[in-house]
Amino acid sequence: MSFLIFANVAMLLLEQSVPAVTQACVLMPALILSRPWTVITYMFLHAGFSHLFFNMLALYFFGPRLEARLGGRRFIGLYLVSGVAGALGSLVTPYALIVGASGAVFGVMLGYAHFWPRDPIYLFLMVRIEARWLVVLMTLMALFGGLSGQSGIANFAHLGGFVGGFLYLRWIELRAPAVQFRAKAAAEVPRSTGADVARWKRIQPEALHPVNREEYERVMAKVELAGTASLTPDERAFLDRFSAQ
């Protein structure tokens, strides 16, 4: 995730020092076929510091926990797929000039709400809202803004980011059994038994410290996706320690 933030900041500095970069990398949906690279490059451009700041703030807030849950490669995949889906959603406004990571960040937001739907989010540090309702609210705002012709905001890119994030997460879930099968087949000797997994599942995460609870959720998600053979000795020791209490 830190790489994504660095790349976005670096691109803003490059935009300001070499204005031709923006012209070469900006997305105009009507020209996607003749400028196909822009479905990627547009999401690393921003209209200014404040535009960059709020996108990176959201990425910093929602990204780390989600990256720990998905793994770095899948997290990058979610980000890029959501951004490309945002570009495709912008076809509704074919002659608009689109820049910004919002579509990609909206996909990350959806991923966070998918795994932790009831987590409280504090808007402007005051208004408390659960993650799932924040996604609903942002969807309604983007729909209203897009259908009402609101200018200056790529509302359909936001909606596309949500759609891309949903489809990517669904693909991961459908593919998980195959990943788990391959991981088990590759292991010469199983390092854990079904009894171990059952014992680990009896751990009550709500009784753990928030830091330990987050680590427990990450490790158990890893077990579900890739099997027990994927666990490191430290991860196994972590589960054994809390299941023995």
- How far, in Å, CA of 7 to CA of 18, rounded? 16
17 is catalytic: no
For residue 245, the model assigns a pLDDT of 60
- Cα 98 from Cα 89, distance rounded (Å): 11
Q: Is the pTM of this model over 0.95?
A: no
Highest mean pLDDT among 50-54, 169-173, 188-192: 50-54
Domains of the chain, start order: 2-170 (1.20.1540.10), 188-243 (no CATH)
CA 74 → CA 1, 29, 129, distances in Å? 11, 26, 27
Higher pLDDT, 236 or 166: 166
Spell 16-44 as b/e; 16+ CB within 10 A means b.
eeeeebbeebbbbbeebeebeebbebbbb
- Predicted pLDDT at 178: 55
Cβ atoms of 148 and 93 within 8 Å: the answer is: no
Candidates 46, 82, 90, 102; catalytic one? 102
* 209 flagged as catalytic: no
Query: What type of residue sits at position 68?
Result: A
Instruction: Report pLDDT for 8.
Output: 96
Average of pLDDT values for 172-201?
A: 64
Active-site residue among 46, 90, 158, 192? Answer: 158
pLDDT at residue 176 is higher than 80: no
